[in-house]
Amino acid sequence: MEPTLIRFILRHSLRQQIGVVALTLVSFPFLYYSLDLPKTIINQAIGGKNLPATFFGFQVDQVSYLMVLSGIFLVMVFVNGGFKYAINVVKGRLGERMLRRFRYELYTRILRFPLHHFRRVSQGELIPMITAEVEPLGGYIGDAIAQPIFQGGTLITIVIFMFMQEPILGLAAISLYPIQGYIIPKLQRKVNKLGKERVKAVRKLAEQIGESVSGVQEIRAHDASRWQLARFTSQLGIIYGIRFEIFQRKFFVKFLNNFINQLTPFFFYSIGGYLVIQGNLSFGSLVAVLAAYKDLASPWKELLDYYQQKEDNRIKYEQIAEQFQPEGMLEESLSAHDAETLERIEGSLHTTGLTLVEDDGKAVLESVSLQLALTGLKLAVVGPEGQGKDHLALLLARLVLPTAGQIQIGGRDLLALPLSVTGRRLAYVGPSAYVFSSSLRDNLLFGVMHRPVGDVAYADQEAAKAAARRHEAQVSGNSPDDPRADWVDMGEVGVADAAGLLARLCQLLERVDLETDVYHLGLRGAVDPKRRPDVAESLLAARRSLRERLASAGLAHLVEPFDRNLYNANATLAENLVFGTPIGNAFDLERLAEHPYALTVLDTLGLTNTLIDTGRKIAETMVELFADLPPDNPFFEQFSFISADDLPEFQALLSRVGREAAATMKPDDRLRLLSLPFKLINARHRLGLIDEALQKKIVEARGVFASGLPDDLKRGIEFFDPERYNAAASLQDNVLFGKVAYGQAEATSRVGQVVTEVLDKLGLRPVVLEVGLDFPVGIAGSRLTQAQRQKLAVARALLRRPDLLILNQAMSALDGSSQGKLLPAVIDEMNGRALVWVLSRVQWAKNFDRVIVVKGGRIVEQGTFAELDRPGSALTELVKQD
């Protein structure tokens, strides 16, 4: 990266800068002419002096001459405006491209940072640097060369004009410039220094915010917010102090400038006036000089502003650039995206004198020498915590570079291998492998998406747009690759097509003991029947099959199916009325009582007052049951229709309305009472308030609700239909097509079992898994458990069939039984290739052919487990501690 901004600008935009300058210069004659034109119009056309008889060979009189000149003036207005517009567009594009290039460059550097650098630099610092801090650079870069030339040229022109009028006055005009030129940079330097401090202070602030976001659980759990607020306040105070000082100094510079600019006319009036009185200067010339001086102010001011801006941006650039060149960055040549064909890594793994010294001078690994045949290698690395075993793994994966020593792999120097080899033929999984916030599938495929394997098939119009995007990316030095292309390298997975890939993914999920989890995620997921009509059809078959299966197992009473003509006792009244799944927020079942359309339907059937009376009975019961309980009683949350806070209001409401008929109540009271019965589930609450007559009425209302639904609301609901797949409902709900009965012991798990059986029998398990793979895992995989994330990371590494897989305590979050399943599965998957596993529990080392014991930064023992398992050995010691 270029060390200074000006070099960055010249290197990447010299030609465009010349273009802007050229365009600016070309615009000058037009500008000059348009300044000159008014004089001609006034003196010749209007004043009638020196009126030319012909104009470009045409005979003209005074009026038509005036009209022609005015016409030209109008044209010049357009031309000048056009130039201004064109120059601004060119400058803007230039600036934006350079900004884009700079950001891209910074980002690529982050990807090449040595990993230990991230211990010192936080996200919170890096993010604002690439996002907010560089932003003003774009605006400046467009102006960087053209602006001083343009404004400087204007300034010089005007000064020359003044000298031509009267050298003394010209001298007077610029007499103070040297002083300004001396003082202002001096003052500016202090402002620049403050600017640097401000940037650092803001980065600290960003870092603190980032830390608070990551540690918010801790802050809340330890009631540390006051301490955090105090720290934050102090940081804000520092920033305030710096900013305020900058303002003061900036305004002082401004004040000084204005003062000096105002001082010059003093010379004009005194010296110029004296010369006029003495008769040495014509009155007209003094006026002309005064007028010219007015024009002089603007370019001078622009130049000073430019200077301030230039300094600001220079500092910014240098400050950012220095942050992005830490020691030990990955060589650029290693990350070059070439290597279409990849040779496998075979042969042996050979290290000599491998040493790693930490920043503080402590050696965590000392002259480790290893000689291992890669083919069929099954190596366990064990040792006490923090004495070098995990560093050995990181070194072998080249995620950390050794301080001294060599690693030869397959006869080649590991440190010189390009990323395209280490990142494809080697795999590493650490204890806290990162999960990206996309779907499970994307996370699994993450390791086999090294480069686009095909072009995107865009439609005509889209293709042009895509080409334009690519061109724009290239002129800014960005990546030409299209993220929408297909990136999955089937060859690396070892499958031929998408179906094979899915099968392989399912197999891997099974192997890492994640299959059941994903299956359940799939059951809760949704399928778009338009995209997958076959799946929807199969799920409908499963729905029918489930009914039969439940009946034959004598479990039919565990599910109450949706029936258009029957009231569902296990659903809320709202669900019974709407009888469908809401889509989007057209209907909120929780607040159906406020929905105008629902109210219309109730009114049509004369149900509103009945339901308000039901609501009154509910309120009475709740007040009776819960009035004596303290408000913090957990029953409120679990059982009451009314929250503890609202209970007194309902008490008041009940005594207010007394025995009053529903029809005459106030609208507010009616709404409050009406909202209650909608939440009622007959089978669960057993209040006996929705009797058969009311149930019939609701079923009738259900029909009216569906048939009268206005068009704009039709898309807000997907009705329950036994013969149709419900796109808005989950896969499980579609198969179930009903409600699990309340009050039946273990109903949910027993029904779940049957659902699974039915789906398996119909061969739908892969389909459910496929849906499960679409599950969005949340930010940093937060919707998965730590154990699920570790399993996912192992599966991700296995998917790309590496020649050497290095697992560094990759199962630490798993329970014993899961570890017991995963370990042999991974060993089996890696059969014939090389596996190095740093174990957190020594007992698992029995499953490996070879064991290395790392202790105090050295290999203290190596051999088979049986060989090392003898009294007094380091291994035995570890087994005892385990």
Partner 1 sequence: MSLAEEVALLKSIPLFAKIEPSKLKLLAFTSERLTFDPDQVLCKQGDPGDAAYVVIDGEVSISIDAPTAPSGRIVVATLGPGAIVGEIAILCDVPRTATVTSIGRTVTLRISKELFFRLITEFPQIAVEVMRELAHRLEKTNLQLREARVGKPH
Q: Which residues bind partner 1 (CB under 8 A)?
A: 554, 624-626, 634-635, 638-639, 685-688, 743-746
One-letter amino acid of 604: T
Cα–Cα dist 651/272, whole Å:
92
Nearer to partner 1, 261 or 744 (CB): 744
- Closest distance between partner 1 and the C-beta of residue 551, in Å? 14
- Closest distance between partner 1 and the C-beta of residue 331, in Å? 58
Nearer to partner 1, 200 or 617 (CB): 617
- Closest distance between partner 1 and the C-beta of residue 698, in Å? 18
Nearer to partner 1, 688 or 872 (CB): 688
- Closest distance between partner 1 and the C-beta of residue 571, in Å? 18
- Closest distance between partner 1 and the C-beta of residue 768, in Å? 28
Nearer to partner 1, 243 or 617 (CB): 617
∠ CA(462), CA(463), CA(465), 5° rounding? Answer: 65
E strands present in 400-449: 404-409, 412-413, 426-429
Residue 794 makes CB contacts below 8 A (sequence gap 6+) with 429, 512, 807, 810, 811, 822, 826
Cα–Cα dist 813/787, whole Å:
5
CA atoms within 13 A on the CB side of 193: 7
Nearer to partner 1, 465 or 557 (CB): 557
Residue 59 DSSP SS3: strand
Nearer to partner 1, 243 or 750 (CB): 750
Bridge partners (DSSP) of residue 852 are 381, 862
Contacts 24+ apart (CB under 8 A), 30-36: 30/76, 30/79, 30/80, 30/83, 31/80, 31/83, 33/76, 34/73, 34/76, 34/77, 34/79, 34/80
Label each residue of 767-825 as H, E or C.
HHHHHHHCCECCHHHCCCCHHHHHHHHHHHHHHCCCCEEEEECCCCCCCHHHHHHHHHH
Nearer to partner 1, 663 or 745 (CB): 745
Nearer to partner 1, 61 or 815 (CB): 815
Written as six digits, the tokens of 248 are 């003061």
- Closest distance between partner 1 and the C-beta of residue 220, in Å? 25
- Closest distance between partner 1 and the C-beta of residue 741, in Å? 9
Cα–Cα dist 667/665, whole Å:
6
CA dihedral over 640, 645, 648, 650, signed as positive or negative: negative
Taking only Cα atoms into account, the Rg of the chain, rounded to an integer number of angstroms, comes to 39
Do residues 407 and 836 touch, judged by C-beta distance below 8 A? no
Nearer to partner 1, 554 or 658 (CB): 554
Backbone angles phi and psi of 462, in degrees to 5: -65, -35
β-pairing verdict for 804-808 and 363-373: unpaired
- Closest distance between partner 1 and the C-beta of residue 747, in Å? 9
- Closest distance between partner 1 and the C-beta of residue 669, in Å? 24
- Closest distance between partner 1 and the C-beta of residue 589, in Å? 23
Nearer to partner 1, 230 or 625 (CB): 625
**How is residue 572 annotated by DSSP?**
B
One-letter amino acid of 740: V
Written as six digits, the tokens of 557 are 């009473």
Backbone angles phi and psi of 415, in degrees to 5: -70, -20
Residue that the structure tokens 């014509």 belong to: 282
Nearer to partner 1, 460 or 624 (CB): 624
Nearer to partner 1, 514 or 622 (CB): 622
Bridge partners (DSSP) of residue 835 are 378, 805
| Nearest Cα residue to 54 out of 65, 66, 42 | 65
- Closest distance between partner 1 and the C-beta of residue 778, in Å? 30
- Closest distance between partner 1 and the C-beta of residue 683, in Å? 10
One-letter amino acid of 683: A
| Burial of 157 from C-beta contacts in 10 A (0-12 / 13-18 / 19+) | middle
- Closest distance between partner 1 and the C-beta of residue 553, in Å? 11
Nearer to partner 1, 274 or 635 (CB): 635
Cα–Cα dist 241/239, whole Å:
5
